A and B are shown apart, each in its own frame.
Chain A
Amino acid sequence: MASCKATDAVYHVELPPAGKKLRELFYCSHMVHSHIACFYALAAPDFVMGPTSDPAQRNILGVISKVGLQVGGEVIKHRAYAQSIQAAIAGKATHPVGGVPGGMSKPITEEQRKDFETKAKSCVEFSKFSLKLFNDVVLSNKDYLNIITGNVYTMKSYYMGLVDSNNKVNFYDGDIRVVDPEGKEVAKFKPSQYLEYIAEHTEPWSYLKFPFLKKVGWKGFTEGKDSGVYRVSPLARLNAADGMATPLAQAEYDKMYKTLGGKPVHATLAFHWARLVELLYASERLLELCQDKEITDPKVRTVPTATPDEGVGIVEAPRGTLIHHYQTDNNGIVTKANLIVATAHNYPAMQMSIKKAAQGLIKKGTAASEGLLNMVEMAFRAYDPCMACATHTLPGQMPLEVVIYDSKGEVKEKLGQNLAGA
Chain B
Amino acid sequence: MKTLILGLGNPILSDDGVGNRVAQVLEDKLAQREDITVNETSLSGLSLIDLLAGYDKAIIVDAIQTAEGKTGQLYRLNPDAFNNTRHVSSPHDVNFATALELGSKLGIAMPKQIIIYAIEVDDVSTFGEEFTPRVKQAIPQCVERIIKELNGNH
Chain A residues at the B interface, C-beta cutoff of 8 Å: 34, 37-38, 41-42, 55-56, 59-61, 64-65, 69, 72-73, 76, 79-80, 83, 94-95, 380-381, 384-387, 395-398
Contacts and interface: CB of A to CB of B under 8 A. Distances in A.
Determine chain B's interface SS by DSSP, over half rule: loop
Nearest to A94: B43
Contacts of A72: 102, 105-106
Contact of A73 (B86, B101, B106, B127): B106
B88 interface: yes
Contacts of B101: 61
B42 A95 contact: yes
Nearest to B127: A396
Contacts, number: 67
6 contacts: A61-B102, A94-B42, A384-B91, A395-B127, A397-B126, A398-B125
Interface in B94-111: 94, 98, 101-103, 105-108
B47 interface: yes
Contacts of A76: 46, 49, 102-103, 106, 108
B78 to A, nearest CB: 19
B144 interface: no
B94 A59 contact: yes
Contacts of B126: 395-397
B125 A60 contact: no
Contact of A397 (B43, B108, B125): B125
B102 A64 contact: yes
Contacts of B94: 41, 59-60
Given A61-B98, A94-B42, A94-B43, A386 B92 contact: yes
Given A76-B49, A83-B50, A395-B127, A381 B42 contact: no
Given A38-B92, A41-B46, A59 B98 contact: yes
A69 B106 contact: yes
Contacts of B125: 396-398
B25 to A, nearest CB: 22
Contacts of A83: 47, 50
A383 to B, nearest CB: 9
B93 interface: yes
A69 B107 contact: yes
A348 B107 CA distance: 43
B127 A37 contact: no
B47 A386 contact: no
A72 B46 CA distance: 12
B111 to A, nearest CB: 16
Contact of B102 (A60, A80, A380, A381): A60
B83 to A, nearest CB: 11
Given A60-B98, A396-B125, A384 B92 contact: yes
Interface in B46-88: 46-47, 49-50, 86, 88
B43 A73 contact: no
